[in-house]
Amino acid sequence: MPSSHRPSKTPPTLAGVTLLDRDHSILAFNERVLDWAHRKDVPLLERLRYLCIVSSNLDEFFEVRVEPHLAATLRKDEKGLYSVQSFRRLAELAHILVSQQYVLYNSELMPALEQQGIKIVSHGERTEAQRRWVKDYFEREVRPLLIPVGLDPSHPFPEVANKSLNFIVRLGGNDAFGRANEIAIVKVPRVLPRMIRMPEKVSGQANYFVSLSSVIRGHLADLFPGRDVGQFSQFRVTRHSDLAVDEEDVKNLRTALRQGLQHRHFGEAVRLEVSAGCSSHLSNFLLKQFELPEEALYRVQGPVNLVRLTQLIDLVQAPDLCFPSYKSCYPTQLTAGASFFERLKLGDVLIHQPFESFGGVLAFLREAVHDPQVLAIKQTIYRTGHDTELMDLLREAVRRGKEVTVVVELKARFDEETNINWAEMLESIGAQVLYGVVGLKTHAKMMLITRREGKQLKRYAHLSTGNYNPSTARLYTDWSHLTADPALTTDVENVFVHLASHSRLPKLNRVLLAPFYLHAKLVERIHALGLAAAAGRSTRIVAKMNALTDEKLIHALIHAGKRGVKIDLIVRGACILPAQVPGLTDNIRVRSVIGRFLEHSRVFYFRCDAVEELFLSSADWMNRNMMRRVELEWPVTDPVQRQRIIDEDLVAYLHDGVDAWDLLPDGSYARVKRISRRTPHSAQAALMVRYGGHDEAGSD
């Protein structure tokens, strides 16, 4: 299912190369994710899950990326980076993607699920017994929570929260006061489940469900006694939700963010979803209320929020329709029960997640918490989720009298409230809680343990390409690096001191830190290889990341490629550098791998003749990561460890013949073609086998 996302506005041009549109590239990424929902070799419920993932991704896309395009449209801007044309082209592509979702949902996934005895039963399909049960459920569980609002001068259009389910109804006749106010709104509380399983007494042995929207739709007339219910539709509005806080102008960032969170659900509307059969009268009424143009209207043949179908996946007990459960092995370079501190004295340890368990990282922290010789623990928190195990360990460390310092990033998008709550909890028990540097997000992932050993204090560190989140660690590919290397641990200590005191950063031994040196050093490294290639030397760059949008780095890559450097980029998501453009980027190949697990690791490899350098990083090659975040990049110097990363995270992905897509010169992506009769290779599947995962409950 190749995509073609050619920008309509005039994009930047670097070294004669017209760059691709970033927002279109994000939509193209979601097309590649949607392809998993089309694949017949994927278990049926997992195909549905990928459909839901695309909807969740699109929600965030609209919440974060669309507002400047829409604002330009409302201002009628005809030129510039954001314009009427940029919005229309973006909306056109989004409409195509949404249409593909619902066609797949209705024509393939739902019929296939019904063949497996799994069905969402509509009002018109219900038997008399099922209708009685639904009626009882509505009266008992739903109706007491609904307050239909008839619109009139004293009841204006209500505030509708971001992504909430609502109904609009056109009424006939007069109300109790003899007035002919015809429009009413029914807001559906979020506490109600969106998928309800029918009991066996009315469904038999099948997995039959009803959607909440169908339950309400079938009983709208009961909410308006004495009125004629005519036209109606479910609807959902998506709002701009990127919090903007002027850090220079607030006294307490935590308080300002908490106040901002109260308004996030009611930002500017950017998208309106309605049922496919919604009348023009009602859809135009809603567009006018939300001050949206026609292009922002999405008519859908099904539920307006496909994300909520994940509830159905969770309710159905059908292991044969899901991926075989994968159990991560304990990190191969560690011995369960043995001391981490003794092991790290012998050399560094790498953990390749989720093929190896994040439980190894938790075990490292657990040993530090319970070791009386450990005096201090320092850690950054970006996204930990709601899982309490890690936080419980930090809390226990405080209770045991250790010095605990936590750098909490309050501005981690959509995790702000969770992080504020963790910060307040840790602060309340005596931990030192810091919020990083004003104007920058602390995106670096690092932990530092200080331990008394004899008359000396020795440091041990954990650095990672991913977050300290036990849940996503089961789903995201990342590298964890445990080390007692004095050069690295001293650097980590200096970074923590810098974040706490804002003092001048000393010269670091191994670590490169954004926003100070990382960007410039990357450009310098690429430039040096370009000069070496021009001099006839053998050169190579392989970089794996989540996104490539920084123009200076792209400029450096284009020039290096023109000089003869062979460049392979493994970019999961947005990439604005067109590959294989004749005469311009012939030496640059870009591929994206979309697999069972979310590719998240950042690995950068540079070679000149026989000299190899390899770096792990928390940073993607985006301007925001280089200039507006605190990020780390650090080298892997041990030849054996370095080769392991090359083999598992670079070579394996460059030879993936199952889950990989190649970026074409026009900005479209094409599935890799099978080039031999041999069974095609999937990097993730091979790694699952290598690390011994098998059908077993759990993943840690």
- Listing DSSP states for 404-458 in one string gives EEEEE-TTSTT-HHHHHHHHHHHHHTT-EEE---TT-EE--EEEEEEEEETTEEE
Angle at 254 between CA 249 and CA 258, to 5 degrees: 100
Pair 196, 212: CB distance under 8 Å = yes
| Contact residues for 424 (Cβ-Cβ < 8 A; gap 6+) | 254
Pair 460, 344: CB distance under 8 Å = yes
Assigned token pair, 344 = 């790290």
Pair 266, 211: CB distance under 8 Å = no
Phi, psi of 545 (to 5 degrees): -160, 180
Pair 362, 340: CB distance under 8 Å = no
Pair 595, 683: CB distance under 8 Å = yes
Helix axes 22-38, 84-104, angle to 10 degrees: 10
Q: How far apart are CA 225 and CA 321, in angstroms?
A: 44
566 to 36, 529, 589, 680: CA distances (angstroms): 31, 10, 9, 24
Pair 377, 369: CB distance under 8 Å = yes
- Listing DSSP states for 498-512 in one string gives HHHH-PPPPPPSS-E
Q: Which one from 5, 69, 352, 443 is the annotated catalytic residue? A: 443
Assigned token pair, 459 = 């440091």
Active site (annotated) includes residue 443: yes
Q: How far apart are CA 546 and CA 585, in angstroms?
A: 20
Cα-Cα-Cα-Cα dihedral sign, residues 116, 121, 127, 133:
positive
Cα-Cα-Cα-Cα dihedral sign, residues 81, 82, 86, 90:
positive
Q: If we measure between CA atoms, which residue out of 536, 592, 549, 598 comes closest to residue 568?
A: 592
Pair 403, 376: CB distance under 8 Å = yes
Count of Cβ atoms closer than 10 Å to residue 596 Cβ: 18
3-state secondary structure 109-138: HHHHHHHCCEEECCHHHCCHHHHHHHHHHH
Count of Cβ atoms closer than 10 Å to residue 111 Cβ: 10
474 to 327, 352, 355, 544: CA distances (angstroms): 9, 11, 8, 20
Residues that are catalytic = 443
